[in-house]
Structure 1
């Protein structure tokens, strides 16, 4: 009789605490946070200002070390890894999309998208790069530079750059924060499609209930704790929950 071993979650945090400073000036940004983020899911992270959202993202993505606790990407424990090893892991197994697009002005769309490979001293797969550009709707803009693109198109370049390494997880830090409502909707639909069509895992910090409604699950943080996980969110339900968290009071 054979037994099937379930695949580990894409990201697992166990009893993660993050404290900045020491003694009387110490600030605890995360308080023993434990959560599993399933593969092929879209998770939004919300909470009032100072609730620990960015710290959660940075610890989960290996951008910052927790003070205590365990962070796993797949079956890889991040605690104790050297900065060199973490840099390699982030470059090959994690994608990032930030509010500021972080594109290199002198490079074309294709060159910006394939930058992770250049930094790693590797050659990009031309067919896969072309496929990613097609998926984000930029195949006709491959030779353009960022200054020739709209804000929404620049964010599409950033999404393509995050996807081109076939990462296990894409982390978004307010990826629609600098965009107008219509353009933000296009980017959110694109992120949703990468989950549904490509099986990608997306974790997104946002302050926008409409953006959060695109996710499968919304994690609500308050004072460094996850106080609720909402499945099948709607913008109205998310906004209502945020009001009770004191986000807009």
Structure 2
């Protein structure tokens, strides 16, 4: 199985001298294409830094990140911006929708920014899959939190990205709505062959993934295939992280 993302000996240090903090330490891991991977760990373990480096949002202090066949090392900011627009999708806790735009306009924004054409049949399929068929003319203020996150997922999928990165995508949602959003991400992998990498603190959310990577002190300390909420929660207690 080919890898959608590969990190080789990636370290990230913030600050210098006495105040330097190592957020990632020599992390090497590959994410197979067409899989759903959850990333977990205690606060300060390096989860967000892992996602930012893997997604080309931040530059490692050392080591290499590859997206498919592209080495991100040495790409300038313009090249990274172009790569993120065309080849990566993002789903954040805060939705990050533009209030003045309709659902359709928010979903297709990455295509317009990239100067790419809109495949209407694919747009219709994505809108249908996320359950927004009757809402395409609405603006974010007219939608519930769960519906807004569905717009964000559709926006992430519409460019047919190589990877969708989620940073606590269910963190602002109630339990039932979170389950719907996680089911959508799961279906994107199972039905569409999408690759999803999701940072989460929630063992139930992690149980939707194919595997879980556990971070502690900036290192990957364990990986769990076929996770269940119970097994994930138990493993987190042994990381000293479960509160």
Q: So what's the TM-score if we normalise by structure 2?
A: 0.98
Query: Using the alignment, how far apart are the partners of 2:240 and 2:119 within structure 1?
Result: 48
* Structure 2 residue corresponding to 1:95, chosen from 84, 89, 93: 89
Report how many aligned residue pairs link the two structures: 243
Contact 1:8-1:75 within 8 A present in 2 as well: no
* Structure 2 residue corresponding to 1:127, chosen from 109, 121, 124: 121
Which secondary structure state, in structure 2, belongs to the residue aligned with residue 81 of structure 1? coil
Which secondary structure state, in structure 2, belongs to the residue aligned with residue 69 of structure 1? strand
Q: Does 1:169 find its partner at 2:158?
A: no
Residue matched to 2:107: 113
What RMSD in Å do the two structures reach over aligned CA positions?
0.8
Q: Does 1:61 find its partner at 2:68?
A: no
Which secondary structure state, in structure 1, belongs to the residue aligned with residue 241 of structure 2? coil
Contact 1:42-1:201 within 8 A present in 2 as well: yes
Contact 2:165-2:198 within 8 A present in 1 as well: yes
Deviations along 1:135-178, whole A, 9 cap, x unmatched? 11111111111111110000000000000000000000000000
Residue matched to 1:182: 176
Q: So what's the TM-score if we normalise by structure 1?
A: 0.96
Structure 1 residues without counterparts, runs of 5 or longer: 1-6
Which secondary structure state, in structure 1, belongs to the residue aligned with residue 134 of structure 2? helix
Contact 2:233-2:242 within 8 A present in 1 as well: no
Residue matched to 1:16: 10
Residue matched to 1:147: 141
Residue matched to 2:232: 238
Query: Using the alignment, how far apart are the partners of 2:151 and 2:78 within structure 1?
Result: 26
Runs of 4+ in 1 over 6 A off after TM superposition: none
Residue matched to 2:98: 104
Structure 2 residues without counterparts, runs of 5 or longer: none
How far did 1:122 drift?
Answer: 2.8
